[in-house]
């Protein structure tokens, strides 16, 4: 069906129609910087974006031991793998050193993974041992009790099942990437 002009509403050019619409629109307000607590009832002038990755680094999802997953590939209940505990990383602390083959660092939930580590074995799945491979009485893990953070490190841990790469690890930017609209 063809559109025709009538006496009541003559057809207008596109430029005239755009001019009519724009004349009815108020000019945009200028953007103002405001603290979040002073911004109630206001609109964003541009999308809010994340400034950094969240989490900002690979970190432990559980209290346990940071390790190289390959070191536990053949671990079983009948043949547990012994890893020497060579360090500790507390939450809010940067790791000192890196994970060498056959070693582990005690690590707190949320703490940054040391270089070389690709997994965390939860403390409940380990047995803390002394230098003679004897279970440490009152140590965390399968041997019983709990050692409080900052307590003495065991000489080693026994791991009785394979720990997959990425196990109990929150990867960098797994929650939010920098420059993502939030």
Task: Evaluate if residue 9 carries a pLDDT over 80.
Answer: no
Task: Evaluate if residue 106 carries a pLDDT over 50.
Answer: yes
Give dist(CA 18, CA 23) in Å, integer: 9
Looking at the domain assignment, is residue 4 inside a domain? Answer: no
Residues spanned by the domain of 140: 59-169
Looking at the domain assignment, is residue 14 inside a domain? Answer: no
pLDDT in tens, 140-181: 555 554 444 567 899 999 999 999 999 999 999 999 999 999
- Please choose, from the candidates 144, 146, 169, 173, the residue with its C-alpha nearest in 3D space to the C-alpha of residue 69: 169
Give dist(CA 167, CA 110) in Å, integer: 14
Looking at the domain assignment, is residue 6 inside a domain? Answer: no
Looking at the domain assignment, is residue 20 inside a domain? Answer: no
CA angle, 108 as apex, 96 and 167 as ends, to 5°? 95
Structure confidence at residue 101 as a pLDDT band (50, 70, 90): very high
CATH code (residue 139): 2.170.190.11
């Amino acid at each position: 069906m063809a559109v025709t002009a009538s006496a009541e509403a003559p057809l207008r050019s596109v430029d005239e129609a755009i001019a009519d619409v724009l004349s009815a629109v108020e000019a945009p307000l200028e953007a103002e910087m405001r603290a979040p607590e002073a911004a109630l009832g206001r609109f964003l002038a541009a999308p809010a974006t994340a400034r950094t990755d969240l989490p900002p680094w690979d970190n432990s999802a559980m209290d346990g031991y940071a390790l190289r997953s390959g070191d536990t590939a053949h671990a079983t209940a009948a043949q547990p793998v012994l890893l020497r505990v060579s360090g500790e990383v507390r939450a809010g602390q940067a790791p000192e050193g890196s994970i060498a083959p056959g070693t582990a660092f005690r690590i707190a939930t949320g703490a940054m993974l040391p270089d070389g580590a690709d997994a965390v074995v939860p403390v409940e799945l380990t047995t803390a041992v002394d230098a003679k491979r004897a279970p440490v009485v009152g140590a965390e893990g399968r041997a019983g009790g709990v050692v409080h953070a900052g307590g003495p490190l065991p000489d080693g841990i026994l791991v009785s099942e394979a720990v997959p790469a990425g196990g109990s690890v929150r990867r960098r930017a797994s929650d939010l990437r920098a420059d993502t609209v939030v």
